[in-house]
């Protein structure tokens, strides 16, 4: 029997968003997808999430803005991107010919920014969904401040929901005291799915210069260091909402991804791992298939959340 890895990512939405498999790329770590199409067959992935997009183009924060730690990366890119107009005119027409769905990650400084972005993307061929980034730790206003508390998170979600007919994922920040309450608020405000986690705020000091390494002082920590944290947050959120949950944070191998799925994630995103292995997302997918064959699992849905029971 052929394996069934399909994932309905927006079951309450019409027409929904059916992924062929659960492996997605994480925003900001896979460009616009085009960059990797020479490296492997990206059409095999479940979905591609593109770089965080704002209304106007952004150059991001000054250098240095990337630093490798013992088990992860600190970044303070600050949402460098081409802006929504260029994304629609230059990237979406190409995506429209792809088999793999592309989800556009959006970020704003005000609720109105998010609503305008969602409105601009609505109905554009080549765009299959929106991931609302209320979790960017690297911009001065907006971003993670919306995701830190339930009410602003719900306000952004409501505004985006009203502005688009596309499936809406909302991406949560771990930099909050109560991610479960934020998740519930976002679900009640009309999200179709919830993705988590974005990077954790961190820093490093250059002891020779006696200065923070990053120009921005702090940055977002990602990579293997954050996996156990991400996993427990996914476990908690998946137990509190009925929406599909997309797990992200430190996934470098198929077994990492399967841990997230067993904790309750319907799909996963591969992020920083792509920097050391550009094929990481495809390797994760192939490994999940091998695991299912070895264990005699025909349907991915049979193992979603099994560690909870
Ligand atoms: C260089 C870099 C840029 C990122 N840019 C974005 C972004 O634009 N929007 C977003 O929602 N997340 C962004 N992220 C966060 C990732 O999508 C992901 O949530 C985080 O890195 C944790 O996953 P990982 O440990 O697998 O990398 C970025 C991460 C990195 C390392």
For residue 165, the model assigns a pLDDT of 98
The pLDDT, as a whole number, for residue 126 is: 98
How many Å lie between the centroid of ligand 1 and the Cα of residue 28? 5
Tens digits of residue pLDDT in 84-94 = 999 999 999 99
pLDDT tens per residue across span 110-144:
999 999 999 999 999 999 999 999 987 766 666 67
Structure tokens at 70: 């013992």
Which tokens hold the place of 99? 């088999």
Q: Tell me what pLDDT residue 144 has.
A: 73
Which alpha helices (DSSP H) does the chain contain, by range? 84-86, 92-95, 111-121, 144-147, 150-163, 179-188, 227-240, 254-263, 273-276, 280-295
> 3-class DSSP state for residue 180?
helix
Catalytic, 136? Answer yes
Structure confidence at residue 135 (pLDDT): 82
What pTM was computed for the model?
A: 0.97
Answer whether residue 55 shows pLDDT above 90: yes
Give the span between the Cα atoms of 170 and 156, in whole angstroms: 9
pLDDT (0 to 100) of residue 1: 79
Cα separations (Å) of 221 from 2, 71, 226? Answer: 39, 9, 7
Residue 246 forms beta bridges with which residues? 195, 267
Distance, CA of 25 to CA of 254 (rounded, Å): 14
CB atoms closer than 10 angstroms to residue 213 = 20
Distance 63 CA to ligand 1 centre (A): 17
pLDDT, residue 86, reads 98
Whether 52 is in the pocket of ligand 1, judged by its Cβ within 6 Å, is yes
The residue whose CA has the least distance to atom 26 of ligand 1 is 271
């Amino acid at each position: 029997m052929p394996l069934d890895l399909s994932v309905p990512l927006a079951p309450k939405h019409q027409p929904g968003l059916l992924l062929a498999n659960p492996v997605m790329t994480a925003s900001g770590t896979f460009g616009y997808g085009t960059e990797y199409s020479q490296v492997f067959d990206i059409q095999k992935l479940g979905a591609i999430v593109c770089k965080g997009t704002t209304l106007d183009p952004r150059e991001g924060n000054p250098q240095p803005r990337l630093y490798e730690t013992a088990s992860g990366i600190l970044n303070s890119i600050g949402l460098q991107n081409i802006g929504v107009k260029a994304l629609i005119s230059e990237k979406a027409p190409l995506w429209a010919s792809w088999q793999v769905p592309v989800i556009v990650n959006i970020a704003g400084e005000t609720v109105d920014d998010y609503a305008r972005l969602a409105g601009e993307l609505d109905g554009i061929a080549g765009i299959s969904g929106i991931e609302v980034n209320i979790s960017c730790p690297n911009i001065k206003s907006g971003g993670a401040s919306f995701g830190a508390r339930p009410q602003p998170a719900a306000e952004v979600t409501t505004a985006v929901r009203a502005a688009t007919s596309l499936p809406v994922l909302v991406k949560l920040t771990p930099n909050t005291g109560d991610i479960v309450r934020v998740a519930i608020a976002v679900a009640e405000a009309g999200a179709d799915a919830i993705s988590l986690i974005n990077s954790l705020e961190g820093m490093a000091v250059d002891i020779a210069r006696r200065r923070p390494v990053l120009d921005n002082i702090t940055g977002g920590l990602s990579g293997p260091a954050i996996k156990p944290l991400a996993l427990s947050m996914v476990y908690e959120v998946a137990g509190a909402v009925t929406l599909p949950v997309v797990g992200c944070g430190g996934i470098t191998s198929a077994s990492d991804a399967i841990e997230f799925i067993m904790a309750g994630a319907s799909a996963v995103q591969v992020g920083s791992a792509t920097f050391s292995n550009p094929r990481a997302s495809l390797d994760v997918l192939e490994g999940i298939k091998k695991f299912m064959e070895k264990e005699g699992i025909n349907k991915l849905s049979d193992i979603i959340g099994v560690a909870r029971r």
